[in-house]
Structure 1
């Protein structure tokens, strides 16, 4: 035996027999520490199968689970001025935007889409907390206005998923001005008698909570979501008292009348379908897929056509010859 047999040959064999194993096959739950297989976690909408802890989910993945067949059309959002204040702290604002876009693969912190949910046409908007903490800047304001205008134009309900750390400090007063802008957008929906449903996810804080996130007709939250204006640490330091257990969490707010429901993510789609159809005075959705509608002048209207007719106050029945 020599060094070739003892070292070189095993080394060569190990190189050629090595298998590439992805590092992201397992995810550790932040709450209970359970190691979760990535496919099992994805199928459960990023909810821990052991402790039901709700982890981060991207807007695109959320829309894929929300809309029928995961099919939706993005609503175009007007692009604001990129860096109006030429802001710089530890790094330039424009560089922070580039980093966030490279990390998330998204252009900004909110995605707006339209499609059918339980064969009921809706418009939905979702904040992305991984994009600069979902902070509310001019783009987010433009996105909510665009979503509201599209909902009014198409006479559809608007469902908004909030997740933010507050206003975007790099845009200063221009960021704070999105609070009244989005409030006006919500008012447009109310004047058009269209439902506006807000789903508050973890965390929803700051100016977002003080504006469009708490102006809905129905407020739903995911379990254990932090929902507040000022965080619990700031409040404790201010009043110098220990806060109650679970303070500013979804269940605490539900008990004190600030929320209508606390619904697990895996049940959210069915819950929203039921609420939307109830608000539109439509019959309950039929479980499972429906057969293809018949063609011709005497064909019965599709569920989407019936929903549009109900919103417009029209007769959904086809005209008889």
Structure 2
């Protein structure tokens, strides 16, 4: 009986038991419903291969695809006062911060880096919508100022990728103060004669739209990105009227003169290289000779697949 219990039954169970399948191997496109394999989606820069819908992409993954060989150096951002208002709703503000840091692996909602894109030295800043909705707090304000100061110091253009739900309510008026602070940072670039290019991604709303996100020398957006101050649902409830189809989406804003271009993510690097070299009075780049971006990171591990390490500041 021991032989049957200890050997035969476990052997039978092992033959008929279901094999464990790792989670997060597939992602469902929210637009068309297609199930997308994680490696295929990562290789396509988080863009649906069936309908072209642009899913969210982290700043680190974006920079890996933007900079030559995926190599960049982080720019140091001054740390603001933690929890200045001792804010608490259902949770304390520090608890929400720790949860966001754990889920994203990032310190805050904006990453600033410098490197070369098509052999063109640039400074870049990108917001992370998965970090508390990419909300604009004191750290984001410090990050934009640090990016602008670094761009002026090194005589490089600044490229900013916006993605935010607006100001961070846990920091109250201190969050709203980042609107004039970041506007002054943009003026530093303009006084130095350096290009400031904004790429608006889905979604860019609230106080971010009302400040640095709409002050670029060139305004580019990703397809179907929601770009607004107040959202369409709020406007409909206020005016009690049905809004036009596609209202406040990138293509609608392009038609009405608020944007210069709507560019798919896969074409964005080459377009930025052309625009920045033109604005910096540099000769056109020979695209075939440009260093390639890094191989997109694996969606399963989140680690760069390229053998070239990312430099960290």
Task: Tell me by how many angstroms 1:37 deviates.
Answer: 1.0
Provide TM-score, normalisation by structure 1: 0.87
- Find the counterpart in structure 1 of residue 267 from structure 2: 267
Whole-Å Cα distance in 2 between the matches of residues 32 and 13 of structure 1? 38
Task: Tell me by how many angstroms 1:286 deviates.
Answer: 1.3
Greater RCO (CA < 8 Å, at least 6 residues apart): 2
Task: Tell me by how many angstroms 1:271 deviates.
Answer: 0.5
CA 1:151–1:250: 2 relative to 1, 3 Å: same
CA 1:69–1:85: 2 relative to 1, 3 Å: same
SS in 2 for 1:219: strand
SS in 2 for 1:283: coil
Whole-Å Cα distance in 2 between the matches of residues 265 and 253 of structure 1? 18
Whole-Å Cα distance in 2 between the matches of residues 138 and 76 of structure 1? 15
Whole-Å Cα distance in 2 between the matches of residues 274 and 208 of structure 1? 26
Is 2:35 the partner of 1:32?
no
- Find the counterpart in structure 2 of residue 135 from structure 1: 135
Matches within 5 A, 1:1-321: 9-14=11-16, 19-289=19-289
Flag as ranges the 4+ runs of structure 1 deviating above 2 A.
Answer: 3-9, 12-15, 18-21, 288-291
CA 1:244–1:260: 2 relative to 1, 3 Å: same
Superimposed CA distance per residue, residues 8-51 of structure 1 (whole angstroms, 9 cap, x where no aligned partner): 54214346xx6443112111101001011111111100000000
Whole-Å Cα distance in 1 between the matches of residues 288 and 59 of structure 2? 24
Whole-Å Cα distance in 2 between the matches of residues 64 and 12 of structure 1? 42
SS in 1 for 2:287: coil
Task: Tell me by how many angstroms 1:108 deviates.
Answer: 0.1
Superimposed CA distance per residue, residues 152-209 of structure 1 (whole angstroms, 9 cap, x where no aligned partner): 0000000000000000000000000000000000000000000000000000000000
CA 1:290–1:158: 2 relative to 1, 3 Å: closer
Whole-Å Cα distance in 2 between the matches of residues 55 and 8 of structure 1? 44
CA 1:153–1:240: 2 relative to 1, 3 Å: same
Task: Provide the aligned C-alpha RMSD in A.
Answer: 1.6
Whole-Å Cα distance in 2 between the matches of residues 7 and 144 of structure 1? 63
Provide TM-score, normalisation by structure 2: 0.89
**Count of equivalent residues:** 287
Structure 2 unaligned regions, length at least 5: 292-313
SS in 2 for 1:27: strand
Structure 1 unaligned regions, length at least 5: 292-321
SS in 2 for 1:288: helix
Q: Radius of gyration: which is bigger?
A: 1
Whole-Å Cα distance in 2 between the matches of residues 210 and 38 of structure 1? 35
Q: Is the 8 A contact 2:119 2:290 kept in 1?
A: no
